[in-house]
Protein backbone atom coordinates (compact mmCIF):
# COMPACT_ATOMS: atom_id res chain seq x y z
CA UNK A 1 0.00 0.00 0.00
CA UNK A 2 2.76 2.45 0.95
CA UNK A 3 4.65 1.65 -2.23
CA UNK A 4 1.55 2.37 -4.30
CA UNK A 5 1.15 5.80 -2.64
CA UNK A 6 4.81 6.69 -3.29
CA UNK A 7 4.60 5.68 -6.94
CA UNK A 8 1.35 7.61 -7.35
CA UNK A 9 2.90 10.77 -5.82
CA UNK A 10 5.97 10.45 -8.07
CA UNK A 11 3.77 10.19 -11.18
CA UNK A 12 1.77 13.26 -10.10
CA UNK A 13 5.00 15.25 -9.51
CA UNK A 14 6.31 14.43 -12.98
CA UNK A 15 2.97 15.30 -14.60
CA UNK A 16 2.74 18.66 -12.82
CA UNK A 17 6.40 19.54 -13.65
CA UNK A 18 5.62 19.47 -17.38
CA UNK A 19 2.92 22.11 -17.03
CA UNK A 20 5.17 24.71 -15.25
CA UNK A 21 6.68 27.20 -17.73
CA UNK A 22 10.48 27.44 -17.65
CA UNK A 23 12.17 30.64 -16.46
CA UNK A 24 13.98 32.84 -18.95
CA UNK A 25 16.18 35.73 -17.92
CA UNK A 26 15.20 39.13 -19.35
CA UNK A 27 17.33 40.56 -22.13
CA UNK A 28 19.97 43.09 -21.01
CA UNK A 29 18.70 46.66 -21.23
CA UNK A 30 21.95 48.66 -20.70
CA UNK A 31 23.38 50.38 -23.75
CA UNK A 32 26.82 51.94 -23.31
CA UNK A 33 27.07 55.51 -24.58
CA UNK A 34 29.10 56.01 -27.73
CA UNK A 35 32.53 57.59 -27.15
CA UNK A 36 32.59 61.34 -27.70
CA UNK A 37 35.76 61.03 -29.79
CA UNK A 38 39.36 59.89 -29.54
CA UNK A 39 41.16 60.68 -26.28
CA UNK A 40 43.27 63.83 -26.30
CA UNK A 41 45.17 65.08 -23.26
CA UNK A 42 48.50 66.33 -21.91
CA UNK A 43 49.66 66.30 -18.30
CA UNK A 44 52.81 66.78 -16.30
CA UNK A 45 53.67 66.32 -12.63
CA UNK A 46 56.94 66.98 -10.79
CA UNK A 47 56.54 66.67 -7.02
CA UNK A 48 59.65 67.45 -4.99
CA UNK A 49 60.11 66.72 -1.32
CA UNK A 50 63.10 68.22 0.49
CA UNK A 51 62.25 67.38 4.10
CA UNK A 52 63.95 63.96 4.04
CA UNK A 53 67.67 63.30 4.43
CA UNK A 54 67.92 62.60 0.70
CA UNK A 55 65.79 64.77 -1.56
CA UNK A 56 63.02 62.94 -3.39
CA UNK A 57 63.07 63.74 -7.09
CA UNK A 58 60.62 62.19 -9.57
CA UNK A 59 58.19 63.26 -12.27
CA UNK A 60 55.99 62.16 -15.14
CA UNK A 61 54.63 63.74 -18.30
CA UNK A 62 52.41 62.28 -21.00
CA UNK A 63 50.47 63.33 -24.05
CA UNK A 64 47.86 61.41 -26.00
CA UNK A 65 46.13 62.04 -29.30
CA UNK A 66 43.71 59.27 -30.26
CA UNK A 67 45.53 55.96 -29.98
CA UNK A 68 49.05 57.45 -30.07
CA UNK A 69 50.65 58.14 -26.70
CA UNK A 70 54.10 59.45 -25.81
CA UNK A 71 55.66 60.46 -22.54
CA UNK A 72 58.45 60.08 -20.04
CA UNK A 73 59.02 59.65 -16.35
CA UNK A 74 62.09 59.91 -14.13
CA UNK A 75 63.12 59.00 -10.61
CA UNK A 76 66.17 59.63 -8.43
CA UNK A 77 67.61 56.21 -7.53
CA UNK A 78 69.06 55.44 -4.07
CA UNK A 79 72.56 55.09 -5.56
CA UNK A 80 72.50 58.74 -6.75
CA UNK A 81 71.69 58.19 -10.44
CA UNK A 82 68.68 59.64 -12.23
CA UNK A 83 66.70 57.05 -14.21
CA UNK A 84 64.65 58.43 -17.12
CA UNK A 85 62.26 56.38 -19.24
CA UNK A 86 60.94 57.73 -22.56
CA UNK A 87 58.06 55.73 -24.04
CA UNK A 88 55.81 55.64 -27.09
CA UNK A 89 52.61 53.74 -27.84
CA UNK A 90 51.30 53.89 -31.42
CA UNK A 91 47.99 52.11 -31.89
CA UNK A 92 48.42 48.40 -31.22
CA UNK A 93 52.26 48.53 -31.24
CA UNK A 94 52.48 48.13 -27.47
CA UNK A 95 54.62 49.98 -24.95
CA UNK A 96 58.04 50.82 -26.46
CA UNK A 97 60.42 52.23 -23.84
CA UNK A 98 63.94 53.70 -23.89
CA UNK A 99 65.66 53.69 -20.46
CA UNK A 100 68.56 56.08 -19.73
CA UNK A 101 70.64 56.72 -16.61
CA UNK A 102 72.35 60.00 -15.71
CA UNK A 103 75.19 60.20 -13.22
CA UNK A 104 77.49 57.67 -11.60
CA UNK A 105 76.37 55.13 -9.02
CA UNK A 106 77.81 55.92 -5.58
CA UNK A 107 78.07 53.46 -2.73
CA UNK A 108 79.25 55.13 0.50
CA UNK A 109 81.45 53.14 2.86
CA UNK A 110 79.42 51.20 5.39
CA UNK A 111 79.67 52.62 8.92
CA UNK A 112 78.14 50.20 11.42
CA UNK A 113 76.33 51.82 14.29
CA UNK A 114 76.97 50.97 17.92
CA UNK A 115 75.32 47.68 18.86
CA UNK A 116 72.64 47.13 21.47
CA UNK A 117 73.61 47.91 25.05
CA UNK A 118 71.27 46.72 27.80
CA UNK A 119 70.04 49.27 30.31
CA UNK A 120 71.96 49.30 33.62
CA UNK A 121 70.36 47.40 36.49
CA UNK A 122 68.76 49.57 39.12
CA UNK A 123 69.26 48.53 42.75
CA UNK A 124 66.75 49.46 45.42
CA UNK A 125 67.79 49.97 49.06
**Integer CA distances (angstroms), 37 to 33, 85, 86, 91, in order:** 12, 29, 26, 15
d(CA 95, CA 68): 11
pLDDT (tens place) for every residue of the chain, 125 residues total: 778 878 877 777 766 655 556 778 888 887 777 767 788 989 998 876 656 545 678 899 999 998 899 999 999 898 889 999 999 998 888 889 999 999 999 988 888 888 888 888 888 76
DSSP 46: -
Burial per residue of 93-103, b for 16 or more beta-carbon CB atoms within 10 angstroms, e otherwise: eeeeeeeeeee
3-class DSSP assignment, residue 10: helix
pTM of the model: 0.55
**Residue-range domain boundaries for the chain:** 36-48+55-102
Amino acid sequence: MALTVIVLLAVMAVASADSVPSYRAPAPSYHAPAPAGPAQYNFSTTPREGRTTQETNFGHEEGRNGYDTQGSYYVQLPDGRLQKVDYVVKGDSGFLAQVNYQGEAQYPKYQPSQGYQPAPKVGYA
